[in-house]
Amino acid sequence: MTNSTLLEPPRTLGWQGDAHSGWLRMIDQTLLPGELREIDCDTLPAVREAIQSLRVRGAPAIGVAAGYGVVVGLRGTQSLGKTAFLKEFAGVKESLATSRPTAVNLCWALDRMAGVIQTISDWPGDERLERLLDEARDIEREDREMCAAIGRHGSAIITDGCGVLTHCNAGGLATAGDGTALSVMFAAAARGKQFRVYADETRPLLQGARLTAWELQQRGIPVTVICDSMAGWVMKQKRVQVVVTGADRIAANGDAANKIGTYSVALLAKAHGIPFYVAAPSSTFDLSLAHGDEIPIEERKPEEITRPYGRQTAPTGVDVFNPAFDVTPAELIAGIITERGIIRPVNTTTVAGVLQPSHHRNAGLRKSA
């Protein structure tokens, strides 16, 4: 397939077939925008590799993939008794949980599947696997609903004729639905608003240039790609009136971890008097962490910087620091757009007021507002 004939991209990921012989199908995002290819993962190592190598990425999509990863990882355990089955699940959970450390949706989804495991461990083997597939499908369905609700709540921050800056990719490719930050833009466009998006290219892996620009083009939304280092000047020229990004983990006080470079964008927005918003579902909040200093930050291979896409761009043997994420303090965030509404001002009290009454790590998410 090529993207030139598409009006909008296919589903980022989803399950094919039944619990016993089906598989997880996803877009291989490492090939975009040059090639649109779907890959099938029917083993635990295949799902883990897809998450770790960024074939699937974005906190919500990683969570969905993890749910389905449990299903494929426990295939063949139908004859096991309770103790052996629980031991097998512990290995599957550990394998998936260590694939990427920062995106909280990964562990959230695994904890949710673990809650189901505890209730079905005495069931017949075939029924156990079918129940787990049902739960994974619920995680995917609820993520689509949350994306739609985030769009509805957030579309009002985009005004007709404005410029919107975003960093990295928080669109349909990062979720099971329309995305988080991009769902705000898709919803605004559906309401007839005219605006332009400025997409930071997002070094070193260029998710903004490769993925965000591609998604916006598919939906007919005007988009301009800029180098990360151009964001301040674009703001200075008054081309941007609002910033919207996604997040991979949000602490209880509203500090938000997102792709490296987001913190810099938030500082620039503050300096230019531009509101900086984060769009994320409730599953991205980690209320066990008081503030952002407690969020684990993934460090990736130096070759992503020294040899991007196979071409050497730095001296051999040079020291490299390659954190995949940074943390934007709550005081720089004008509001966090969730499926339950916009949290503002952003602090421990307002976050708790929106999330705590129905935020349970292992109980699943309520239907979107």
Question: Domain check: are 39 and 24 in the same one?
Answer: yes
Number of domains in the chain: 2
pTM higher than 0.95, yes or no? no
365 within some domain: no
- Among the candidates 123, 147, 171, a domain finishes at 147
Question: Domain check: are 133 and 159 in the same one?
Answer: no
- Among the candidates 110, 129, 147, a domain finishes at 147
From residue 356, how far is each of 35, 220, 288, 359, 360 by CA, in Å?
A: 42, 38, 11, 5, 8
Q: Mark whether 228 is an active-site residue.
A: no
Question: Domain check: are 237 and 286 in the same one?
Answer: yes
Question: Domain check: are 255 and 109 in the same one?
Answer: no
> Which tens digit of pLDDT belongs to each residue from 56-98?
999 999 999 999 999 999 999 999 999 999 999 999 999 999 9
Strand order in the sheet with 276-279: 223-226, 196-200, 163-166, 242-245, 276-279, 335-338, 341-343
314 within some domain: yes
Check residue 335 and report its DSSP letter. Answer: E
> Which tens digit of pLDDT belongs to each residue from 190-210?
999 999 999 999 999 999 999
User: Residue 39 belongs to a domain with what CATH number?
Assistant: 1.20.120.420
**What per-residue confidence (pLDDT) applies to 314?**
97
Active site residue: 143, 248, 286, 326, which one? Answer: 248
**What per-residue confidence (pLDDT) applies to 358?**
53
**What per-residue confidence (pLDDT) applies to 347?**
98
What mean pLDDT, rounded, does the chain reach?
A: 93
Q: Using a pLDDT cut of 70, give the percent of the chain over it.
A: 94
> Which tens digit of pLDDT belongs to each residue from 124-134?
989 999 999 99
Per-residue pLDDT at 367 exceeds 60: no
User: Residue 162 belongs to a domain with what CATH number?
Assistant: 3.40.50.10470
Question: Domain check: are 160 and 237 in the same one?
Answer: yes
Contacts of residue 232, defined as CB under 8 A and 6 or more positions apart, other chains included, come to 268, 271, 272
Question: Domain check: are 169 and 266 in the same one?
Answer: yes
Give the range of the structural domain holding residue 66, as residue numbers without chain letter.
3-147
**What per-residue confidence (pLDDT) applies to 258?**
98
**What per-residue confidence (pLDDT) applies to 5?**
38
Question: Domain check: are 107 and 202 in the same one?
Answer: no
Question: Domain check: are 192 and 226 in the same one?
Answer: yes
Give 356's pLDDT tier (boundaries 50, 70, 90). Answer: confident
Question: Domain check: are 143 and 156 in the same one?
Answer: no
